[in-house]
Amino acid sequence: MDHSLFISDCHLCESRPSVINAFIEFLAHTAIHADALYILGDLFEYWAGDDAINHGVHAPIINALKHLSLQGVSLYVMHGNRDFLLGNGFTQATNATILPDPTLVSLYGQLTLLSHGDILCTDDIDYQHFRQEVRSDAWQTQFLNQPLSERVAYIESVRQKSDQEKSIKSMQIMDVNPTAVTELLASHGYPTLIHGHTHRPMQHQYQIDQHTCTRWVLGDWYEQGSYLRVDKQGFHPHQL
């Protein structure tokens, strides 16, 4: 049956070799049978720029993605909060298409809105300010002009600070804001929403202006691999 697969928050990095292996196996044995694979952000733990394609453990991941796309599987990638610097070098190396956040698509007759999910965490005001800063062209141009080693060092310091801040933030602040969700769904014609970021896989139902909408939250790959399969019969969560 024709189908598409959705994943997010793999956070691939050299400190998690088992996750990298699981991801490459997933591409070779599961995603290979799909019409399309959608990666909704944070494929990598961090991405310091496209000149890091052959740096560290990136090369086998890039090669596996390219092999998948060459087999006829459409590959779509959305920026996450950890890998928003993925650019033309990455897309050329993998034959992937980078999607804007959010993106509205029709999946087997089902209107579906795709997002990484961090734009919905509006209660985390400090993060939203940081997000706006680092997504600007001026900041990215200045950052990418620095040597790769300096960029990596900066990212590591930001990661440490972020981990410290998360330890004192409430779970509610770091989750999506219900009003932000309903406003986003209403502004896009009441579709089904698929996103990641919060690492809280779940199916949620909303009643908005007499419309029933579903929000699917994708799981992370820290402890296990999971994905969402979409076909003409509906939405089906799976674990590896």
Q: Per the structure, how many domains does the chain have?
A: 1
The 10s digit of each residue's pLDDT in 185-215 is 999 999 999 999 999 999 999 999 999 999 9
Return the CATH number at 81.
3.60.21.10
Which residue type is seen at 80? Answer: G
pLDDT at site 238? 97
pLDDT of residue 32: 98
Task: Extract the tokens encoding 153.
Answer: 């060092």
- What is the domain range of residue 172? 3-239
pLDDT at 159 over 90: no
Which whole number is the average pLDDT over 118-126?
Answer: 95
> What are 32-77's pLDDT values in tens digits?
999 999 999 999 999 999 999 988 789 999 999 999 999 999 999 9
Q: Is residue 168's pLDDT more than 90?
A: no
Q: What is the mean pLDDT of residues 141-154?
A: 96
- Per-residue pLDDT, averaged over 162-169, amounts to 71
Dist. CA 148–CA 145, nearest whole Å: 9
| Percent of the chain whose predicted confidence (pLDDT) is above 90 | 89
Which of 193, 17, 207 has the alpha carbon at shortest distance from 110? Answer: 193
Beta strand pairing status for 3-7 and 36-40?
Answer: parallel
The residue that leads in pLDDT, 228 or 158, is: 228
